[in-house]
Every structure is written in C-alpha cells, then in structure tokens.
Amino acid sequence: MRRFGVLARCLLVLLAASVAAREAAADQRLNRAARHALHNGWIFVHLEGPPAMLGFQHGYLLAPEIQDAQRVISLVLEHDTGKPWKFFRDAARDAFWPRVETQYREELQGIAEGLSARGVPLDVWDVTALNAWLEFSPYYFKWWEKEHQVAQPAKVTAREHCSAFVATGSYTKDGRVVIGHNAWTGYMEGARWNIVFDILPRQGHRILMDGYPGLIHSADDFGINAAGIMITETTISQFNGFDPKGVPEFVRARKAMQYAGSIDDFARIMKEGNNGGYANNWLVADRKTNEIASLEMGLKNVTLQRTKDGYFAGANFPVDDKLTREETSFDRSDRSLSPNARRIRWDQLMEENKGKIDVAAAERFLSDHYDTFDQKPEPNERTLCGHNELSPRGMKPWQPPYGPAGAVQAKVADATLAERMAFVAAMGHSCGISFRAAPHLRAHPEFAWQKHYLHDLVAHPWTEFRAGK
C-alpha cells in the first residue's frame, strides 16, 4: 500500500508537471498574439507565427466567441437544411478535410487546440465545418441531395451577400484605387461578424481583414495584404454547382489573400482546384499599379476583366451571360429584384461621382438608401445599405418578408490607407439605423426560432484600423 501511495504521488507530480509544461507552452504560443477590447463594435485580434501557432492563438483568444458562433451556425444550417450539426461535421471530415493543404490543416488543428485550452469542447471537425459553413448551403448540400436522390430537396439557395465596388483612374479623386464593401447576412449571425484580424504569418504576406470567429478566411470577404493587393467580393445569386473533388473555397480565399502579390497571382490561386463553393464575383485592386479587376467565379464559367481606368461593382448579380444561363436561375431582366436594383444604383453613383470618389464618398455609397425601382429614398432590400427587416416583399428565395437580414457592417480602403496596412470600418448599418431584436420579434413572431441568439445590431461610427495598432 505504501508503494502504491508513493507511486500515486509520483504520478500526481508528473501530471502536475505535465499540466504546467502545457500551460508554459501555451503561454509561449501566445507571446506574439493580442486581443484588444471591444472598440466601436469591433474586436481587434493580432495573430503571428507559423500555421499551428496562428491557429492556437485564434482559438485561445476568441474561444467564447467561437463557441457562440458555432451554436448560431449550427442553428442556421439545421433550419435551412433540416440536417443536424453532425451531418456537417461528417461532411467536413470526409469531403472537405482531404482537400485542405497542410498549412491550413495545421491552422485549423491549432484553433481546436486553443479552444481545448480554454475548456471549449469543439474539435477540429467542428472547426473545419465552421470554415466550410458558406459552402455547405446550398452548394455542397444540393450536390449531396442529388447524389442521394432525395425526392423532395430542401429549398436552399445561394444567399444574396453584399454590395461592393472598386474604382480607379478618372473615377477617383486622386486617380488611385478605392474599394468598399458592406456585408449582407442574417442579423443573428451578422452581429457576430465583428472581428478585425491582423495576421502576420511565417510565410506569405501580412493580412488585415475583417472576419468571423473561428474562420481562417474573411468569409464576407474584405482584406488587404502587405504586397498591395486589396480584395472583396459579392455572392452570385441563385447559383447552382459544386465539385466535391475541388479545393474548398475557404482554403483558396485565405491562400489568395496571404500569397497574392498581383492580380494574376490572385486569379491563379482562386482558379486552382475551383470547387464552385460559395461562388462569388471577386473585386480586386493592386495599389502598386492602380489596376483593378473583376474575377467572376462560377464552376463552369470563370471570367476575368481588368482596367486601369474605370470601376467594377457587385451586388449579387451574375455578370457573364453564359454563366447566368448555365449556372444560375436568376432573372437579370426583373428590375424589382434586389441585385438588379442595386446594380442600377451602383452605375448611377459611379457616373454621378466620377472624378470625386474617395473614402468619404465610399462611406456614403455604402450607406445609400435610394430604391431605383420605386425611385425614392427608402431603406429596404433594394438599397445598397440593405434592410430586409423593413421590407414587406423580402428577398425570396433567400429571405421572407421582414426577415431580420441585410447589411451588417461595412469597410472602405484607398491606396493611401492600404500603404499603411489600414482600412476604415463601421459595425452595424453604416447609415446609422440600429436594429432592435425584441420589438422586431414581437411584431414578427414567425422568427421566434432565432430568439435565443438574435441580438440587437447597433450602428457604430466609422473607425480606422491599422495592422500593428
């Protein structure tokens, strides 16, 4: 018994030493990382090091937010598809993980380790599923239903995410590039899209981007890198197509932001292994050359346009005629649809402000409430600053009438800001209108399924964020 007691004490000492060693290792991994207090609605997070360290810092510093985000995304996916979170965990493991390259596997595993160190019971399959969230519904899910010959497919559709533009040359005040974007999504998940990531990886370029807790890519997407590349996008409405043998979009999007040193680099990285997931029209600028580009990425149809004097705009409308016919069910002739109404408004604003576009003008554009169909100012689903919660029409098939969804935050950068690795951002509607959850749910009880997670979306002022600051 004495020998057993001595052995037990030795084991306890070894266990304590092991725990202490792990905590010391964790401290070392966090030495270069930082999380700053909530500022005008944003959380600023600095990550630095090799992939596994970046991931650990991310998971550890944002553990409560990641746990909360997973619960919200699980609820959204189950509501949309009828499938439980386990379905998406399994898909992440079996369909997505085999096509994730080593450096991003290490980062995803690092996030899971950081979460574990904070006592959050999410593993690498949960983290991978979070990152693939925007590719699951409808892209992967529609493919899965077809493969399994589901008799009554779920009514899921590509979400109409975002309004954006990029301009240069004679359209801007100083002849250099200006880029702007506001993210559209449900307010339940969108209120949590409030992270500014400053990432200094061991390889590739430094990144400043907005993002979502637990995701290695921006996902909505807006970011700049130290090589002078400025990136954003808007989703292609009512898109159909997915290749399970391709590289996940979240991997390609992160890799392009990290490694692209030119527009050609960006296009090459995005095209390599294109799986059709989260199909977007990417707007890109190179502040070194003042060239801008539009890379519209379907699965079958991919087109690249570029110029040093002009603009490209996005509002979820498919651009290429062939892509529209072959890969979407979208009606470009219906001017009452939100993407078409917003496309018209972008063209109006670009021409009305030609030669005057700067950061201040971009902020006004993203706060704009002019409805081109009804030809009057009225915040709704057809305005650049989207307010579906105020619309009796909704944005079918994505959102029903009065669905709590629309623009949730906005970002703008010009070449001067990008040179300093900086951009300005506004959390909530940049127009200044705040969404209040409780009165909306009382007026529209059909959205009671969101009540535990639907928060107020408070409008905050524009704020500058800079890498390292």
The structure tokens listed for 93 are 């493991």
Q: Judge whether 46 lies within some domain.
A: yes
Count of structural domains within the chain: 2
In this structure, the answer to whether residues 109 and 168 fall within a common structural domain is: no
DSSP at 292: E
User: Which residue among 82, 115, 147 closes a domain?
Assistant: 147
Same domain, 180 and 132: no
Is residue 308 domain-resident? Answer: yes
* Within a domain: 2: no
φ/ψ of 282, rounded to 5, equals -85, 135
Going by C-beta distance under 8 Å and a sequence separation of 6 or more, which residues neighbour residue 462? 363, 412, 424, 425, 426, 430
In a domain, 14, yes or no: no
Q: Which two tokens stand for residue 350?
A: 């670009």
Same domain, yes or no: 175 and 136:
no
Which of 112, 147, 182 is the C-terminal boundary of a domain?
Answer: 147
> Is the confidence at residue 158, as pLDDT, over 90?
no
Q: Closest Cα partner for 107 from 188, 40, 10, 201?
A: 201
- What is the model's pLDDT at position 15? 43
Residue ranges making up the domain that contains 408: 163-466
281 with 404, same domain: the answer is yes
410 neighbors 455 (Cβ within 8 angstroms): no
Q: Is residue 281 part of a domain?
A: yes
Mean pLDDT of 339-353: 98
Domain identity same for 141 and 180: no
| Same domain as 131, residue 212 | no
Statement to judge: residues 457 and 363 lie in one domain: yes
pLDDT tens track for 279-305: 999 999 999 999 999 999 999 999 999
In this structure, are 139 and 242 located in the same domain? no
What CATH number should be reported for the domain holding residue 111?
Answer: 1.10.439
pLDDT for 10: 44
Answer with the residue of higher pLDDT: 66 or 156: 66
CA distance 23 to 1: 33
Which CATH number characterizes residue 338's domain?
Answer: 3.60.60.20
Q: pTM for the complete prediction?
A: 0.93
pLDDT of the residue at 143:
97
Is 371 part of any domain?
Answer: yes
User: Both 129 and 70 in a single domain?
Assistant: yes
What tokens appear for 108 in the block? 């995803």
Q: Name residues whose C-beta falls within 8 Å of residue 176's C-beta, 6 or more positions apart in sequence.
A: 168, 287, 290, 414, 415, 416
Indicate if 142 and 167 belong to the same structural domain: no
d(CA 300, CA 266): 19
pLDDT digits (tens, 9 = 90+) for 98-127: 999 999 999 999 999 999 999 999 999 999
Residue 160: predicted pLDDT: 72
CB 278 within 8 A of CB 135: yes
H/E stretch holding 285 reads strand 280-286
pLDDT tier at 18, thresholds 50, 70, 90: very low
